[in-house]
Amino acid sequence: GTMRSGSSHFGLRDSSSEQRQGQVPPATAGTMRIFVNNVDGFLAGAICADLMKLSHSIMGTQKGSSQDLIPPMVRKIIPRIEVRKLLKTVASCDVVVYDLHDADLEEMELVLRTLHSSELTQEMVLILVSSIGVWARTQREFEYVPDAAPPSEHE
């Protein structure tokens, strides 16, 4: 089926009556909610350490099962198998960080589709981290575009 804006299909808040202008205070330092995908990844650990300067409310998903690799500043691990909770958590955050090298692209697509179809009650910054290795894996599609007029050598 199709998803309507404000749909509570994923348990996201229906925002019809509660988002009048100015009712939701802007996130201030310390109260900003930050979601980081795969907090136990190498790059995510460094990102969490930097984000700690902005907020003490960092949460995220975990790639492996070892608790040792979770950075100490991460307050909460959201289990991937609880998809509804994951989507709700991401939608409630002010900053969302995905390292494309580590990300499950199907999960990320679901998250992005959900965010796109939700009426968020806050401004959100979405940060996608990529490397040349990520781009090397993308499928290339070439499209033949004829030139309007081939450049003349006599000009």
Give the pLDDT confidence of 97-148 residue by residue, as tens digits: 998 888 888 999 999 999 999 988 899 999 999 877 767 777 777 778 888 7
Helix (H) / strand (E) containing 55: strand 55-60
CA-CA-CA-CA torsion sign (49, 51, 52, 57): negative
Q: Residue 85 domain-assigned?
A: yes
At 82, give phi and psi (nearest 5°). -90, 75
- Domain residues for 86? 30-132
Q: Residue 22 domain-assigned?
A: no
Q: Residue 2 domain-assigned?
A: no
Under DSSP, is residue 77 helix (H, G, I), strand (E, B) or coil?
strand
Contact 134, 108 (CB under 8 A): no
Q: What is the pLDDT of residue 91?
A: 95
Q: Residue 150 domain-assigned?
A: no
Q: Can you give the CATH number for the domain in which 54 is found?
A: 3.40.50.720
Q: What is the pLDDT of residue 65?
A: 87
Segment 55-101, tens digit of pLDDT: 889 999 999 888 888 998 999 999 999 999 999 999 999 999 998 88
Segment 10-65, tens digit of pLDDT: 434 433 333 334 334 454 555 889 999 999 988 888 899 889 888 889 999 999 88
- Buried residues in 30-63 as b, exposed as e (16+ CB within 10 A): eebbbbbbbbbbeebbebbeebeeebebbbbbbb
- Count how many domains the chain has: 1
Helix (H) / strand (E) containing 57: strand 55-60
Q: Residue 123 domain-assigned?
A: yes
Q: Residue 91 domain-assigned?
A: yes
